[in-house]
Amino acid sequence: MCSIVSRKVLVALFSTLVGASFPSCRTQSSTSDTFLPEAPTEQSDSRGARQGYTTAVGDSLDIFVREDSSFDGHYIVRPSGDIILPKAGRVFVLNMTLSEVEAAVKKVLEGDQLTKATVIADPVRRGAGDGKTVLAGLTVYLSGNVMQRGRVVVPFIGNAQVTAFQAITDAGGFSAFANKRKSYLLRRDSASGRPKRVSVDFAAIERGEAPDPVLMDGDTIVVPQKIIGF
């Protein structure tokens, strides 16, 4: 009889210990899971890269202005260290963080364009080529008697500015009947917003007798056809 009672007591005691042990294990496991470090995400890595970013010559930036979308655009940091906003003109942004770029653009726009400007700047690509990215440059348009018509991106070479003759040369040069003497450049006037015509004599530039015009983003170069005998 005593043996049977002792056995029952031992079984009951064992059951109590097992029941107490398993909840304890589950609680410990659940608690430890809450302290596991989260894996780094692509978004957090991107934020870190943005925080350490400063502009350099040739960098491409997207600028967004909440109050006026006409200022939104894709801008390139020029060799002179600035970007050129339509109607507002040059804004110096070289060696700046994104916050500093936004502040610089905001200051210019609120100077004479907008009562309030909420500016967002976002880097698109670095200007320096590493074999994986395209070298940044100026976007210009070629029309008329040239080997390649339409939109072209003329890369920056070192810290030099992009010129009209360089743009045509990079695009394959002139066609057989190009009127180099009567060519011209179309550039949007920052005050009126209308295109302004600037005469360009490529023949004189080739002879070293005239300066090669420095281009701006969005310029159009027109090379008319030469009339035989003139």
Q: What is the pLDDT of residue 194?
A: 83
CA distances, 82 to each of 59, 93, 99, 103, 121 (Å): 11, 5, 16, 14, 14
CA distance 102 to 32: 44
CA distance 177 to 221: 16
Report for 14-18, 87-91, 180-184, 226-230: range of highest mean pLDDT = 180-184
Strand partners, 123: 61
Q: What is the pLDDT of residue 197?
A: 94
CA distance 226 to 230: 7
CATH topology of domain 54-125: wza like fold (3.30.1950)
CA distances, 110 to each of 31, 65, 66, 86, 105 (Å): 54, 11, 13, 14, 9
- In this predicted structure, the answer to whether residue 230 has a pLDDT above a threshold of 70 is no
CATH number for the domain formed by residue range(s) 137-223: 3.10.560.10
Structure tokens at 139: 């976007």
CA distance 64 to 61: 10
Report for 7-11, 80-84, 107-111, 131-135: range of highest mean pLDDT = 107-111
CA distances, 7 to each of 3, 11, 12, 13, 18 (Å): 6, 6, 9, 10, 17
Query: Tokens 């074999």 appear where?
Result: 131
Q: What is the pLDDT of residue 76?
A: 84
CB-based contact 200:219 (threshold 8 Å): no
CB-based contact 126:133 (threshold 8 Å): yes
Q: What is the pLDDT of residue 136?
A: 58
pTM beyond 0.75: the answer is no
Q: What is the pLDDT of residue 64?
A: 92
- In this predicted structure, the answer to whether residue 91 has a pLDDT above a threshold of 90 is yes
Q: What is the pLDDT of residue 12?
A: 55
Average pLDDT, the chain: 76
Nearest CA to 216 among 189, 194, 192, 191? 189
Domain ranges across the chain: 54-125, 137-223
Q: What percent of the chain has pLDDT over 90?
A: 37
Q: What is the pLDDT of residue 39?
A: 34
